[in-house]
Structure formats: structure tokens, C-alpha cells
Structure 1
Amino acid sequence: MSELKIVVARYTDPDAQLLIRATLRDLGERYNSSGDETPVDPTEFDPPHGAFLVGYFGADPVSCAGWRSHGDNGLVAELKRMYTAPQARRKGLARRMLAAVEDSAREHGRRRLILETGSKQPESIAMYQACGYAAIDNFGFYKEYPGVRSFGRDLH
């Protein structure tokens, strides 16, 4: 396998959409649902208010994640659609993608990154905690749902 290359893409890019659909399928299987009902406007991921990243091994899109502005002060970003394809897991790609999202958010003036995940994603929770994310009050679309877990980390 070649080296992972991470590029900025539009949320509507075909490779991004391929990975987003896979993300939603994965979440749907875990939670016996449609995946994620959180309202998402693709333009929320357009700079300078957000960004969407796709990771490639050669020509194959294998990982994605994005951030969008959260709140009114322009200092907080929300992580969305973090995903690594099954064939590319356990290679450190999620950590590399998370670091790239953090760098992008930081470059656009964000000082904090927050995210929602859930109890049926224990590998995600473990990775976020290992990367310095701490539990925060639940927020967003799923804040009242059982099993929701919210995390945040300051971007220094």
C-alpha cells in the first residue's frame, strides 16, 4: 500500500460522497438507524467556515473527516463525518486524519474542536481520548439521546 495522501475536497465531491455514504451505513448498522439525522448543509464545510478532507491510498479514497464552525464566536469547530474504510483500519489513518482536521481548523482561527459520538463506537471513543479529547456536556442533534458521548479539545 502506498502512503496516505490527505487532500481538501468539497463535501459534494464524488469521493467524499462515497465515503460519507459508507459512514452513514456504518452508523446505521451500529445504531439500527438511518445513520445520522444531524442536519448538514454541504456549504458549512466550505472555507473559511469549515473544510472537508479525504484521504487516499493511491487512487483509492479510504478516509474522510470534516469540520464546520460551531457557535457564533468563530473559535469553535465541530468534527463531522470522521470515517476510515474497513480495509484501511488499524494503520493509524484515523489519527492522521484527525490531526489534519485539527490543523485545518487551527489555520482558520478555531481554538477548540468538539464532536459527538456514541457508546456503540468504542474504538472511536478510545482514539479520541488517546488524542487528548475530554468528555464535555452533550450538544447538538443527539444531546438528549441515550448513549451519546461528546468530547472536546483545545487546539494550541
Structure 2
Amino acid sequence: MSRTRRLQIQAVKQGDPLAAPLLDELAVEYSTRYERPLQEQVESLTTYPGEEFAPPDGALLVVTEDGRPVAGGAFRRYDESTAELKRIWTSSEHRRRGLGRIVLAELEAEAVLRGYTRIYLTTGWRQPEAVGLYLSAGYTALFDPTRPAEEIGPHPFEKHLIRKVESA
């Protein structure tokens, strides 16, 4: 017997219980990959001003499956025309299912609705999966990909957004 799973995208605030798994797992991921103290990563993610990821200039989206958070991400204002993506996450139990692409598409659509025409983001040098996701989703690398990742440090990307015109 097969069971249909239902994905929903919800806008939440940083302190919302649906955002907790996103922030908790990101802290563990960053701590492990970059060999930094876990508590330092937790504080970095949870004490960041949540209003930066709230309307009118930002958003924090969580993808739930059958009511459980499985992926998410956020953006904040970088400059007048640019949104900066942050906290892109897919639960380790749900990776390789296209959820990262869903998060990117939803964040991009929301950014367009808020009037942004460009997205900027950085990802870490020890996150090759993220680099692959952004390149495959049409983001332009703002670094020399022929250089060793550790030499580059944070890997910046951009993408210009196109506002879709609805036909009558």
C-alpha cells in the first residue's frame, strides 16, 4: 500500500517551533563541518535578529511533510534590489529528494513578490552539495571555481530574478 505525502510551505517567525529543527540541525551541521563549538553555532543562529527574516523585507519559510519540518530557508534585505538567502536547510533524513530546489523556488518567488530583482548568497567552502544546488538552479558563482575551496572561503553566488507578467 502506498501513502501519499503532503508538502506544505509555511511562513514562520524565527521563534516558531517549526523553525527549531532547521536551526538545531544547521547548528550541528556547521559545528561538525567547520569544527566549531556547537554552542557557538546555536547562539549564532538563534540570537540573530529575527526581524531581519520577517516581512516586509524578509521571510523564513519551512517546508513540512505531514506536519513535520523537512526543509526551509530564509532571506533578508541585502540592499534595495537584492535579497540575501540564508539558512537553506534540508533535514538529513530527507535529502536527495529535491526539497532544496523547492525551498529555493519558493524563496525566489517570495523575493519577487517583495520587489527584489536579484538574490545574493554565500555558502561555506565545506558544503559542496550546496554549491552544486546553486549552480544547477541557475545561480552564478562570484568566485573562481578553479581555486581550491578552502582558499576561497565563503562562496558567493547571485541570481537575477525575472518578474513574471500575467496575461489577461
State TM-score, norm by structure 2.
0.81
The structural deviation recorded for 1:69 is 0.3
Aligned equivalent of 1:9, options 2, 8, 12:
12
Gap regions ≥5 residues in structure 2: 144-150, 163-168
More strand by share: 1
Does residue 104 of the first structure (1) align with residue 110 of the second (2)? yes
The structural deviation recorded for 1:118 is 1.4
The structural deviation recorded for 1:64 is 1.1
Please, what is the CA RMSD of the aligned residues?
1.9
Tell me, what secondary structure is at the counterpart of 1:52? Answer: strand
Count of paired positions? 147
Instruction: Flag as ranges the 4+ runs of structure 1 deviating above 2 A.
Output: 34-40
AA aligned opposite 1:111 = T
Does residue 20 of the first structure (1) align with residue 23 of the second (2)? yes
- Report what 1:65 is aligned to: 73
The structural deviation recorded for 1:25 is 1.1
Gap regions ≥5 residues in structure 1: 138-144
- State the distance in 1 between where 2:20 and 2:76 align: 17
| Higher relative contact order (CA closer than 8 Å, sequence separation 6+) | 1
- Report what 1:140 is aligned to: none
State TM-score, norm by structure 1.
0.87
Identity %: 33
Query: Residues 88-108 of structure 1: CA distance to partner in whole angstroms, max 9, x if unpaired?
Result: 111000000110000001100
Residues 26 and 35 of structure 1 are in contact (CA less than 8 Å); yes or no, is this contact kept in structure 2? no
